Amino acid sequence: MDIVRIFDTTLRDGEQSPGFSMSVPEKVRMARQLESLGVDIIESGFPIASQGDLEGVRAVCREIRSCTVAALARARRDDIDAALDGLAGAAHPRLHTFLATSDLHLHHKLRLTREQCLEAISSNVRYAREHCAEVEFSAEDASRTEIGFLCEAVGRAVKAGATILNLPDTVGYAVPEEYAAMFRRVIDYLDGANGITLSAHCHDDLGLGVANTLAAVQAGVRQLELTINGIGERAGNAALEEVVVLLKVRQATLGVTTNVHLDQLYATSRLLTEITGAPVAPNKAIVGANAFAHEAGIHQDGILKNPLTYEIISPEEVGVPKRQLVLGKHSGRNALRATLVDLGYQPTQEELDECYRRVVTLADASKSVSNRDVLAIAHEVMRKRGSETAVAAE
Ligand code: KIV
Ligand code: ZN
């Protein structure tokens, strides 16, 4: 079975979006968890962007020894030098350089001709490859690039030494058939693209990030760029947890696998919400508080008889804690705190008190309170913290 490599860009595309910035120690904590999750590549930052980004990349490189660590650079010498500086201590470094290829970006944003674009790709990818054993080239706005020119551009990148070609749907504009067709054309142009890894990177502006990522896999793409909880520029990136679970649940149809340990997904999602203070929506697939909650009587009845009736994956498989610590009105705050920590929360005293008040009220009405009830309560209470943080930051 083919392995699809997972390239996590939570610390770069995710972190660069409003409300998700992380300190250097937080990035390191998150990177350690991503390593435990089993992603293949961690994109650790964009070193030219700020001293903090550069420090973050350096710290992640020092800490992470089993995954490849990537750093982003525009196709310019100073950017590439900054990224190389950041990557210097990495066990498995990858220089990720990008240049827009659509006429819209070339003409209006970069004021480059197509010829200048091709020249910049050749010279900068070559320079990057002279200094780093593994180079990825991204054709920004690939999905809106005229296909003939896109082929020429990626051909230049390959000739200059890039072995990973990423074709992003930068503004989330593509529909799945189109996005897959683009990859098929490029693979054809590169005579099967032997020795080259094609990569998908999908933004979610029209809610198609995961669908487009799936279409890319079906077209032969074997690296996927994703973020935990789907965070990222604007509407975000395709969510890692959704894509890897999709590939697992539909493995028989899709015929691919990943190195991700699914049972670490929930903890990874919780760590990110804890670090950023930005909770996920309760109905978010895989990691939302309601993702495995069944309210309707008919559904509850079905689940009790056979979970497969309404659950296509069990909560335990994605790491939603199995232990049902039954909390009743006689349970103390300590038991509640332990449950909350188990579920990935770090409540303040005030939040613990508020959760406790709600748990006792619920226990009064229904005798016992399950982990899923606690999750829903914690989510509600912590969400307040998230919105207060957001207000404070305004
Ligand atoms: O969305 C995008 O095009 C990107 C590139 C820099 C890879 O994030
Ligand atoms: Zn992006």
DSSP H or E segment with residue 128: helix 114-131
Q: Is the CB of 201 inside a 6 Å radius of any atom of ligand 1?
A: yes
Nearest ligand to residue 142 Cα: 1
Q: Which residue has the higher pLDDT, 392 or 301?
A: 301
Mean pLDDT throughout 281-292?
Answer: 90
Question: pLDDT tens, 377-394?
Answer: 888 887 776 544 433 333
Residue 116 token pair: 């200048």
Asked if residue 321 has pLDDT above 90, the reply is no
pLDDT, residue 364, reads: 81
Asked if residue 328 has pLDDT above 90, the reply is no
pLDDT, residue 324, reads: 46
pLDDT, residue 393, reads: 37
pLDDT, residue 368, reads: 67
178 CA to centre of ligand 2 in angstroms:
18
> 362-377 burial, b for 16+ CB within 10 Å, e for fewer?
bbeeeeebebbbbbbb
| Domain segments of the chain as ranges | 2-276, 293-393
Question: Any residues with CB less than 8 A from the CB of 193 and at least 6 apart, and which?
Answer: 165, 186, 187, 220
365 CA to centre of ligand 2 in angstroms:
47
Question: pLDDT tens, 119-145?
Answer: 999 999 999 999 999 999 999 999 999
Which CATH superfamily, name and number, covers 2-276? Answer: Aldolase class I (3.20.20.70)
pLDDT, residue 389, reads: 42
pTM of the model: 0.84
Of 140, 182, 234, the residue with max ligand 1 atoms within 8 A of its CB, to mutate for a pocket test, comes to: 140
Question: pLDDT tens, 141-192?
Answer: 999 999 999 999 999 999 999 999 999 999 999 999 999 999 999 999 999 9
Q: Is the CB of 98 inside a 6 Å radius of any atom of ligand 1?
A: yes
Which residue has the least CA distance to atom 7 on ligand 1? 138
Phi/psi of residue 121, nearest 5 degrees:
-65, -50
At 76, the amino acid letter reads R
DSSP H or E segment with residue 242: helix 240-249
pLDDT, residue 267, reads: 96
Asked if residue 99 has pLDDT above 80, the reply is yes
pLDDT, residue 257, reads: 98
Asked if residue 75 has pLDDT above 50, the reply is yes
By mean pLDDT, which of 200-209, 249-258, 286-295 is the weakest? 286-295
Average pLDDT, the chain: 92
pLDDT, residue 241, reads: 98
Q: Is the CB of 74 inside a 6 Å radius of any atom of ligand 1?
A: no
Q: Is the CB of 223 inside a 6 Å radius of any atom of ligand 1?
A: no
Question: pLDDT tens, 194-246?
Answer: 999 999 999 999 999 999 999 999 999 999 999 999 999 999 999 999 999 99
pLDDT, residue 323, reads: 41
Which residue has the least CA distance to atom 8 on ligand 1? 13
Q: Is the CB of 140 inside a 6 Å radius of any atom of ligand 1?
A: yes
Of 16, 74, 138, 225, the residue with max ligand 1 atoms within 8 A of its CB, to mutate for a pocket test, comes to: 138
Phi/psi of residue 182, nearest 5 degrees:
-60, -45
266 CA to centre of ligand 2 in angstroms:
23
DSSP SS3 for 221: coil
Asked if residue 295 has pLDDT above 50, the reply is yes
Other CB atoms within 10 A of residue 388 CB: 11
Q: DSSP secondary structure string, 29-97?
A: HHHHHHHHHT-SEEE---GGG-HHHHHHHHHHHHH--SSEEEEEEESSHHHHHHHHHHHTT-SSEEEEE
100 Cα nearest atom in ligand 1: 3
Of 79, 95, 201, the residue with max ligand 1 atoms within 8 A of its CB, to mutate for a pocket test, comes to: 201
Which residue has the least CA distance to atom 1 on ligand 1? 170
Q: Is the CB of 172 inside a 6 Å radius of any atom of ligand 1?
A: no
Other CB atoms within 10 A of residue 346 CB: 13
pLDDT, residue 290, reads: 80
